[in-house]
Amino acid sequence: MSEGGYLPHADSADFLFLNENCTIGEALDQLAAYNVLSAPVVRGVTGTAVDLAQENKLQYTVLGCLDVDKLLEALLLTIEKKNVDLFSMASGPLTYQQTNTLMLAINECAQDFFLHAITTLPASLDGGSLFRGDLGTNLLAVIDDAFLFPANKSISNHRVLVFGIRGEVVNTLSQSDILRYIYHFKSEIKELTSQTVQELGLATSPVSTIPANIPAIMGFKTMHTRRVSGIAVVDAQDGRLVGNLSVSDIRGLSPAIFGCLAMPTIEFLNRALNDEALLHARLQAAKDESIGAKLSPSSPGLAATSGLSRKTVAPIMCTGSTTLGEVMRDLVQHKVHRIYQVDEHLRPIGVITITNVIWLLAGKEWRKLVPGYDTPTPMRPDVNIGLLAGLEEDGSRPPQSPPHMLVKEFPPRSTARLPAEGVVARAKVIIGDPSYFPGKTRVTKTVVRAIAFLDHTIRGTDNAESCQIIFPQNQVGRQNDIYMFLCGYNHNVTAQGRYVCISSTVVEGIVEGMSTEEVAKRELGVTLQMMQPTLDIVYDIYELEEPLSDGTTDKAFISKGYDPTSHFETAIADVMDLFQRIMGKPLEMKAQAA
C-alpha cells in the first residue's frame, strides 16, 4: 500500500483512477469509457492522472487495483444470493418465453449489484498483493512476478501499476503493452516469428467452449468456474466458431439493460449494449404478454423492427500453419487478447493468448528448455519497464523532444525549470552535462579523438586482447599526454576477432582551416600508426567545458566534459564532486558492516 503518494504531473499518461467510494456501476462505466480491464483504486480522489494533476489533488493513497475479474465474481455472487435457482434456469437453450422470464429474474438483481461500493468486493483492494514495479524494474521481473508467476495465484494481473520514487503511480503496464514492444522488434527474432503455431506448440488445448444459444450469464459463469478470461462461442449444431465471450464484455452494463444477460450468448455479443431502447423493448415484452407476442421470434425480429445498429463480433482465427509473427500482428492490430486455432471446418482446436506468446518469448520454462538461450533481443535483461512508458500503438516510441533540451531559465529558488518544445519540466535539481546549459559553462581545452575498428591487436603489446597505453608528453614531443585504449570480444563490445581502439589527446596549436582528420593526424600521429591497418576509423573534435558555478544557488548541477584520459579517474572525481555539491556532504564509500 502506498501512503501519501503523489499523482503524476499534467503531462503524464492519461490513465484512470477509481475512488474507493465509487459504486460497481460507476466503475464499470469508467472501465468501458477508457477501454481498460483494471484501474488503481485510491483514497479521496477519482478521475484520470491528468484531471487530478490539473486540480492539484496530488496526494493520495493507493488501496489496490480493481479488475473486471473481481467485478464478474461479484456479479455472479449477487445473482446467486438473490435467486439460487437462476443458474439452473439458464443451464441450457431457452424458449423465447423462458428467456423473458429469466430476463426479469436477472433484472431484479440489478440494483443490488450496481449500487454496491467497490470496497465491498471480495479481496478487491488487497494492496499487499500489488506488484510494486518502478521505472527501473527489469522487464523480465515484471513478466515473471506479475504476469506469469504471481505470488498471489488468485490475482489476475491484466495491468500492473508502475510506481515512482515517491510512491506515486506514474504509469500502468499491460501484457498488451509488452506484446506491442516485442512486436516492434520482430525483425530481431525472425527465427521464432517465422515458425508456425504447430511447430511451436503455441496454442492451448482443449478449448473452453459454450454453445451460442445458451444464455450469456451461463457463459460468464462457465468462464469464472474454469478460471479463464475468455471462452469460445460455437454453433450448437456443427461446433463452428461464431464468437468470443470475454470477461471484458461485462463493461458497459447498466441497471437498465442488466436483463440482457439472459439473452442467447450470440445475441448478447451481436447487439450493441448501449442500444438501451432495444433492450427496454425486450424487457417490456417480458412484462407484457401482448407485446411479447408482437415481438416473438416469428416476427421480423427486434433488430429489424427497431432500426438500431448491431455490433459485429468476429473472432480472430488462425490455423496450424499460421506463423508466430502473423499471430503477434493480429493480436496487436486487432487489439484482442486471444486468437483461436481452428480446423478445416472452423471448429476451435486451440487458443493462443497474449500470455502464451509472452511465455514463449520470455517465460522461465522456455529459458530452461533451451540450453544457452537467454532471451530474444527485445527481452534482454537490461531492458526496464521505464523504456516501455508511452509506447505508440505499434510498440514504437512517439516523436520525442530534441535530445539536447536547452535549460533556459533558472530562477533564484529551490526548483529548476527545463523547457523544451513548449513543455516545462520542474525538479528540485537538474543534473546534466555542459551541452544542456549554454551560457553557464566555459571552454578550457579542445579534445581530439580517433576511434578505429580493427581485426588485430596493437603492435608491441604481445597480442593483448585489451590494454591501455599512456604516451608521456615528453616522450612524444608534446605538452600533453596521448591516451590509447583497446577492447574487444572479451568485454562484450565486439564480435570475436574484432577490436575497438580509441586514441585521444588535448589539441595543441592552431586548427583554423584544418579538417578533423587533419587535426587528428597531427596530434595523434604516433598512435594512428600503431593502429594500422584499420577496418574503419572515425575522428571527433570537441571543446572541453566546465561549469561556471557550483550549482548550489540555481540548483543546476553541471558536470565537466569528458577529457582525453582513458582510465575514468577524472570522470569518477567529477561524479564525487557532483555528489558533494548536490547532497552537501562527501560520498561515503566505506563498506557497510554486515
Structure confidence by residue, pLDDT tens digits, 325-380: 999 999 998 888 999 999 999 999 999 999 899 888 876 555 554 444 455 556 66
Break the chain into its structural domains and give their ranges.
2-87+105-189, 96-101+208-306, 191-206+315-378, 417-547
Contacts of 368 (CB under 8 A, 6+ apart): none
Average pLDDT in the 218-241 region? 92
- In angstroms, rounded to a whole number, what is the distance separating the alpha carbons of residues 518 and 524? 10
pLDDT at residue 370 in the model: 46
Count, residues in the chain = 594
How many Cβ atoms are within 10 Å of 333's Cβ, its own excluded? Answer: 12
- CA nearest neighbour of 527 among 479, 458, 462, 454: 458
Contacts of 478 (CB under 8 A, 6+ apart): 505, 508
pLDDT at residue 128 in the model: 46
pLDDT at residue 346 in the model: 94
Give the confidence band of 188 by pLDDT, cuts at 50, 70, 90: confident
- In angstroms, rounded to a whole number, what is the distance separating the alpha carbons of residues 364 and 301? 52
pLDDT at residue 438 in the model: 82
CA distances from 154 to 121, 124, 215, 224, 467 (A): 14, 11, 27, 12, 55
- Grouping H, G, I as helix, E, B as strand and the rest as coil, residue 29 is helix
pLDDT at residue 81 in the model: 86
CA distances from 141 to 145, 180, 367, 562 (A): 6, 18, 14, 35
Give the model confidence (pLDDT) of 511-542 as tens digits.
888 999 999 999 999 899 999 999 999 999 99
- Grouping H, G, I as helix, E, B as strand and the rest as coil, residue 52 is helix
Give the confidence band of 455 by pLDDT, cuts at 50, 70, 90: very high
What the block records as the C-alpha cell of 410 is 533558472
Whether pLDDT at 232 is above 80? yes
Please determine whether the domains at 191-206+315-378 and 417-547 fall in the same fold group of CATH.
Answer: no
Give the confidence band of 273 by pLDDT, cuts at 50, 70, 90: very low
| Dihedral angle computed from the Cα positions of residues 409, 410, 413 and 419, in that order, rounded to the nearest 10 degrees | 40
pLDDT at residue 318 in the model: 95
Give the confidence band of 41 by pLDDT, cuts at 50, 70, 90: confident
Q: Are 180 and 332 in contact (CB under 8 A)?
A: yes
Report which DSSP code applies to 535: S
CATH of domain 417-547: 3.30.519.10
Angle value at C-alpha 331, between 329 and 333, nearest 5 degrees: 60
Amino acid at 121: L
Give the confidence band of 160 by pLDDT, cuts at 50, 70, 90: confident
Top pLDDT among 521 and 182 is at 521
What is the CATH topology of the domain spanning 2-87+105-189? CBS-domain (3.10.580)
Out of 98-107, 266-275, 437-446, the most confident range is 437-446
What the block records as the C-alpha cell of 477 is 614531443
CA distances from 126 to 123, 129, 168, 488 (A): 6, 6, 18, 50
- CA nearest neighbour of 466 among 492, 495, 491, 449: 491
Report which DSSP code applies to 560: P
CATH of domain 191-206+315-378: 3.90.1280.20
pLDDT at residue 39 in the model: 83
Mean pLDDT computed over every residue of the chain:
77
Lowest mean pLDDT segment, chosen from 16-20, 292-296, 527-531? 292-296
Handedness of CA 160, 375, 136, 132 (dihedral sign): positive
Top pLDDT among 309 and 48 is at 48
pTM here is 0.60
Give the model confidence (pLDDT) of 235-251 as tens digits.
999 999 999 999 989 98
Q: Are 214 and 262 in contact (CB under 8 A)?
A: no
Whether pLDDT at 171 is above 60? yes
- In angstroms, rounded to a whole number, what is the distance separating the alpha carbons of residues 174 and 18? 18
CA distances from 210 to 185, 237, 259, 345 (A): 37, 12, 20, 17
Give the model confidence (pLDDT) of 137-148 as tens digits.
777 777 877 777
Contacts of 189 (CB under 8 A, 6+ apart): 182, 361, 376, 377, 378
Rg (CA), the chain: 32
- In angstroms, rounded to a whole number, what is the distance separating the alpha carbons of residues 69 and 90? 21
- In angstroms, rounded to a whole number, what is the distance separating the alpha carbons of residues 413 and 410? 8
Tell me the CATH number of domain 96-101+208-306, given options 3.10.580, 3.40.50, 3.30.70, 1.10.490.
3.10.580
Lowest mean pLDDT segment, chosen from 89-93, 274-278, 337-341, 386-390? 274-278
- In angstroms, rounded to a whole number, what is the distance separating the alpha carbons of residues 116 and 382? 44
Give the model confidence (pLDDT) of 486-498 as tens digits.
999 888 888 889 9
Angle value at C-alpha 558, between 557 and 562, nearest 5 degrees: 150
Q: Are 538 and 561 in contact (CB under 8 A)?
A: no
Whether pLDDT at 271 is above 90? no
Amino acid at 316: I
pLDDT at residue 593 in the model: 58
Residues above pLDDT 70, as percent of the chain: 71
Top pLDDT among 531 and 191 is at 531
Give the confidence band of 289 by pLDDT, cuts at 50, 70, 90: very low
- CA nearest neighbour of 28 among 79, 72, 61, 58: 72
Average pLDDT in the 401-428 region? 49
pLDDT at residue 153 in the model: 55
Top pLDDT among 575 and 32 is at 575
Give the model confidence (pLDDT) of 416-445 as tens digits.
555 555 455 667 888 999 888 888 899 999
Top pLDDT among 309 and 590 is at 590
pLDDT at residue 407 in the model: 46
- CA nearest neighbour of 178 among 162, 155, 196: 162
